[in-house]
Amino acid sequence: MRIFIIKRLLLGLLVLFGVISVTFVIVRVIPSDPAAQWVGPRATIEQIEAARVELGLNDSFFVQYGNFVADLAQGDLGKSIRTHQPVMTELKAFLPATLELVFLSTFIGVFLGLYLGVVSARRKDQWVDHLCRFFSVATVSIPAFWIGLLLQYVFYGTLDWLPLGERLSMNVKLFHEIPDITGMLLFDSLITWNLVVFWDALKHILLPGFVMALFPIGLVARMTRSALLEILNEDYIKAARSYGLSERIIMWSYALKNSLGPTATVVTLAIGYTLVNTFLIESIFSWPGIGNYIASAVVSLDYPAIMGVTIFSAVSYVFLNLAADMIIALDPQVRT
Amino acid sequence: MREKMLSNVKGISSLFTILAIAGLLVCFSVAAATAAEPKVALYIQDTEPILDWDPSVESGGGMLVLNNVYETLLRYDATQKKIIPLLATSYTQSNYGMTWTFKIRKGVRFHDGSKLDAKAVKFSIERTMKLGKGMSYIWAPVTKITVVNKYTVKFDLEWPAPLDLIATSNYAAFIMSPKAVKSHNQDWLSQGNAVGTGPYVLQKSTMGEEVILRAFDDYWNGWGEKRYDFAVVKKIVESSSRRQMIEKGDASATVYLPAEDLDQMKSNPNVIVNVGPSLENTSIMFNTQRAPLDNKLVRQAFAYAFPYKKVVKYAAGGYAIKARGALPAQLWGHSKSLFQYSQDLEKAKQLLKQANYSQNSRKLLFTYVSSMEADKKMAEMYKSDLAKIGVEVELRGMPWESMWELSKSRKVEDRQDIFAMLWWPDYCDPYSWLYNMFHSQKEILYNLAYWSDPKFDKLIDDANYEMMFKKKKSLALYHEAQEMLLDESPSIFVYDKKNTLVTHKSFKGFKDNPAYPNVVFFHETYPE
């Protein structure tokens, strides 16, 4: 097992190295002048020259690459071309909001997905099953941003039940102390028992959290359903039935437990997908996270910021894949 | 039976628990809502409120925020075309526009409590010049700044320049507290700190997201009975979200809504669509160094082929006026009697024939900023009309940085043939405008028609000099220079954009000033 993890980690490092190198090259091939951008919209020739020296853009490609990798090894991602602030500082500022959204949506996704999967499997080919299957296909195939806009229109524009976006309402932000421990508002406000902030944050995260959860819900539901249907035909389930155990116990205690392996693998990959999905959802819900950050960075070709987010995404994917591999490896059937 | 009763009781008790929790939560939310006594103005836009907090450096989009936190010596009122005193109460010029003396307002305090004086003015401008970033080049004529006495400061110039206009610039002319700046490292301001004299104090800035400003009680110009205690500037990318928020009154003001939305919102009694003139102008630059556009006749033909009316109506959604000459209507130097091209495809064909333009010429490359929907529509309309006179065009939407980089390629053949340009003044001066776009340049910067004519250079140089002494003569020279541009047609002057700022009906006091596009001076506004 240890060798397996080490092997996977080394492979992960290789992947990261590849991603860093490829992104570095791509970013430099795009015709753009980072020095001019660094100075601002009305740059003079002298200012651009000075910026070129300051940013080390006159160095050869390999020197620039070497410097980048050396800085990266020390956790330095360089300074954003637009804001002139260290990319690492900015990532740290935006990350908690994204993580909060990803955690919540995964949580909703897993629980609702499992529930729908179980219901579908129990009532196979009945109308409930058809409805669940339709729902799960829809959640996977309908673009999340469209659903996001629709829900905004309904819950903010028409019913006025929920806020349009952002993390907190203006009044709470201005007149209440906002706890800042992990940067994840729901968690922070709960452990400091700041219920005003908690309630406000909860209202704000519901819509984006639900929209982000749609994909995992569909994925988990379909996965659980098919795994369960297979398991329900196994001999030990038949044996359990013949002992007269209730269908509920058989489903939740025996069958579901054994179907969790493949579902867990899918969940780790769904988290990866959710991370990418944040790019759209955060823009729609004005959620101040990594997705919103990268959207502005890409439009203005802020390459240190683009590299920073790319590396972050690559690292996340590598670890999520590792987690998925480990879950599979832990399965006794695979191990033997 | 007992079990059933028990389960009923259980059910009822859990119902009560849920209701109690919900009630508690509602109480909290009501408490949160009613705690809000102070008035808050919320301005939402699609870009970051500010990129670099250093007032000597920022030139990217922080005009609104900086102009509420900091102040300049003078302010320009573009609707009245006059200069208004701000931190300077009066000024004089002597020595043929080479020496400028400003009287500094007494009794003004910075947000850190220190007092404004001539030394602070000298410190701020010298700091901006020394850093040499952003739009600091506007101070290029200044050679020496002298503190004459506590409230008088003198500027010596190397060549005559309208320093009063320069001091009204929307960037790089802000006065900051020397005490605060000196007691911190150089990056302190950039990192999100601000100490100006403006009516609002920076309370909190969240990177790339929002800026919260608080009213400055000791503001020198005082406060009226009603005011906004807080002014918040926030980034909301989605235009549909911005529209919904302003219509519901959750936001006070917003900008950059699509023309279709603006048209629809005009009938909504809860919002006011403020449409006013701007100093922003869209033009088309021709590559005058490469065939076929190195030929004046071809350029004139292209100017006659342009669908002016359609572009104003459909590309700009009607929120623009057809340009007359190079300078926008609100800028001093603009002339109403200049010639104006109109679309005439027959004349265009004739001119092409006269120029011996071959129908088998290569495809011309037309670049525009991909994120600008109006430019994209304009490019498509122009392409289809050029096709009618036998000219084939390839459209390429690119990010501004890439497009600009391409336009500065070393080889002329690598550059585009047609370039869609948006221009606005750094300060309200015709010389800076015409110099940047059409004066001969050794190294290409913004003269993206690559046009060079010593006669034109001399005309605008003279006009600039005369502006301080003989305004009429200066105007005549600018008129002549623009006539020359129209005849030579290195560029098509398409339209002057209109500023469109949507406010909620409860947000009062907003006055549009095109010299500071889309800036709300929150001190002038009040809630109702």
Q: Could you tell me the maximum CA-CA distance found in chain B, to the nearest angstrom?
A: 107
**CA B234 to CA B205: how far, in whole Å?**
10
Comparing CB atoms, the residue among A93, A174, A293 nearest residue B40 is A174
Instruction: Check residue B65 and give left, alpha or beta (phi > 0: left; psi -120 to 50: alpha).
Output: alpha
Shortest Cα distance from A273 to chain B (angstroms)? 22
Specify the pairing of strand B491-504 against strand B364-369: unpaired
CB atoms B237 and A300 under 8 Å: no
Q: What is the mean pLDDT of residues A227-256?
A: 84
Instruction: Check residue A183 and give left, alpha or beta (phi > 0: left; psi -120 to 50: alpha).
Output: left
Whether pLDDT at B27 is above 60: no
Taking contacts as CB-CB distances below 8 angstroms, the residues of chain B near A156 are 244, 248
Comparing CB atoms, the residue among A36, A82, A157 nearest residue B404 is A36
Q: Which of the listed ranges A318-322, B22-26, B144-148 does the model predict with the highest average pLDDT? A: B144-148
CB atoms B245 and A164 under 8 Å: yes
Comparing CB atoms, the residue among B24, B401, B426 nearest residue A37 is B401
CB A311 within 8 A of CB A16: yes
CB atoms A173 and B60 under 8 Å: no
Whether pLDDT at A286 is above 80: yes
Give the pLDDT confidence of A86-102 residue by residue, as tens digits: 999 999 989 999 999 99
For residue B421, what pLDDT is reported?
95
Reference B401, options A78, A299, A59, A55; nearest CA is A299
Taking contacts as CB-CB distances below 8 angstroms, the residues of chain B near A90 are 207-208
Q: What is the mean pLDDT of residues B106-111?
A: 96
For residue B319, what pLDDT is reported?
95
Q: What is the mean pLDDT of residues B472-489?
A: 96
CB atoms A288 and B32 under 8 Å: no
**CA B108 to CA B176: how far, in whole Å?**
12
The DSSP string of B393-442 is EEEEEE-HHHHHHHHT-SSGGGS-SEEEEEE--SSS-HHHHHHHHHS--S
For residue B527, what pLDDT is reported?
95
The pLDDT confidence band at residue B26, using thresholds 50, 70 and 90, is: very low
B270 touches chain A (CB under 8 A): no
Shortest Cα distance from A143 to chain B (angstroms)? 16
Q: Determine if the pTM surpasses 0.90.
A: no
Q: Which residues, in sequence order, are CB contacts of A325 under 8 Å at separation 6+?
A: A4, A8
Comparing CB atoms, the residue among A32, A42, A93 nearest residue B405 is A32
**CA B400 to CA A299: how far, in whole Å?**
9
Comparing CB atoms, the residue among A50, A157, A176 nearest residue B244 is A157
The pLDDT confidence band at residue B3, using thresholds 50, 70 and 90, is: very low
For residue B8, what pLDDT is reported?
46
Whether pLDDT at B37 is above 90: no
CATH code, residues A97-287: 1.10.3720.10
Q: What is the mean pLDDT of residues B411-416?
A: 93
CB atoms A295 and B237 under 8 Å: yes
Any idea where the domains of chain A sit in the sequence? Answer: 97-287
Counting one residue from chain A and one from chain B, the pairs whose CB atoms sit within 8 A come to 146
Q: Which residues, in sequence order, are CB contacts of A2 under 8 Å at separation 6+?
A: none
CB atoms A47 and B132 under 8 Å: yes
Shortest Cα distance from B505 to chain A (angstroms)? 18
Give the pLDDT confidence of B43-68 residue by residue, as tens digits: 999 888 998 899 999 887 899 999 99
Shortest Cα distance from B160 to chain A (angstroms)? 21
Taking contacts as CB-CB distances below 8 angstroms, the residues of chain A near B48 are 82-83, 296
Comparing CB atoms, the residue among A45, A82, A170 nearest residue B40 is A170
Calculated CA dihedral for residues B270, B276, B280, B281, nearest 10 degrees: 110
CB A272 within 8 A of CB A203: no
Residue of B nearest to A82 (CA): B51
The one-letter amino acid at B58: E
CB atoms B51 and A283 under 8 Å: no
For residue B45, what pLDDT is reported?
93
For residue B285, what pLDDT is reported?
97
Handedness of CA A247, A251, A252, A254 (dihedral sign): positive
Give the pLDDT confidence of B201-239 residue by residue, as tens digits: 999 998 778 999 999 999 999 999 999 999 999 999 889
What angle do the packed helices A87-122 and A127-141 form, to 10 degrees?
160
The pLDDT confidence band at residue A333, using thresholds 50, 70 and 90, is: low
Shortest Cα distance from A183 to chain B (angstroms)? 13
CB atoms A40 and B60 under 8 Å: yes
| Mean pLDDT across chain B | 90
Q: Could you tell me the maximum CA-CA distance found in chain A, to the nearest angstrom?
A: 86
For residue A332, what pLDDT is reported?
63
CB B132 within 8 A of CB A47: yes
B405 touches chain A (CB under 8 A): yes
CB atoms A165 and B399 under 8 Å: no
CB atoms B38 and A174 under 8 Å: yes
Structural domains in chain B? Answer: 45-270+505-527 (3.40.190.10), 277-499 (3.10.105.10)
Comparing CB atoms, the residue among B24, B25, B59 nearest residue A40 is B59
Taking contacts as CB-CB distances below 8 angstroms, the residues of chain A near B407 are none
Handedness of CA A283, A286, A287, A292 (dihedral sign): positive
Taking contacts as CB-CB distances below 8 angstroms, the residues of chain A near B28 are 195-196, 199
Comparing CB atoms, the residue among B58, B235, B402 nearest residue A31 is B402
Q: What is the mean pLDDT of residues B465-472?
A: 86
User: How many C-beta neighbours within 10 Å does residue B422 have?
Assistant: 16
Residues shown for chain A: 336
**CA B73 to CA B87: how far, in whole Å?**
4
CB atoms B207 and A85 under 8 Å: yes
| Mean pLDDT across chain A | 87
B193 touches chain A (CB under 8 A): no
Give the pLDDT confidence of A47-78 residue by residue, as tens digits: 888 888 888 888 888 999 999 999 988 989 98
For residue B61, what pLDDT is reported?
81
Taking contacts as CB-CB distances below 8 angstroms, the residues of chain B near A166 are 234
Give the pLDDT confidence of B241-253 residue by residue, as tens digits: 999 999 999 999 9
Whether pLDDT at A42 is above 80: no
The pLDDT confidence band at residue A334, using thresholds 50, 70 and 90, is: low
Give the pLDDT confidence of A142-171 residue by residue, as tens digits: 888 899 999 999 999 889 899 998 899 988
Shortest Cα distance from B71 to chain A (angstroms)? 21
Give the pLDDT confidence of B501-522 residue by residue, as tens digits: 999 999 999 999 999 988 999 9
Comparing CB atoms, the residue among A149, A173, A283 nearest residue B237 is A283
B23 touches chain A (CB under 8 A): no
B244 touches chain A (CB under 8 A): yes
B245 touches chain A (CB under 8 A): yes
Taking contacts as CB-CB distances below 8 angstroms, the residues of chain B near A41 are 59-60
Q: Is it true that the peptide bond before A179 is cis, omega within 30 degrees of 0? A: no
Q: Does B95 or A190 have the greater pLDDT score?
A: A190
For residue B294, what pLDDT is reported?
94
Instruction: Check residue B189 and give left, alpha or beta (phi > 0: left; psi -120 to 50: alpha).
Output: alpha
B112 touches chain A (CB under 8 A): no
Residue of A nearest to B241 (CA): A164
Comparing CB atoms, the residue among A45, A83, A171 nearest residue B36 is A171
**CA B197 to CA B200: how far, in whole Å?**
8
Q: What is the mean pLDDT of residues B313-331?
A: 94
CB atoms A40 and B134 under 8 Å: yes
For residue A151, what pLDDT is reported?
94
Give the pLDDT confidence of B65-90 residue by residue, as tens digits: 999 999 999 999 988 889 999 999 99
Give the pLDDT confidence of B128-149 residue by residue, as tens digits: 999 988 889 899 999 999 999 9
CB atoms A200 and B32 under 8 Å: yes
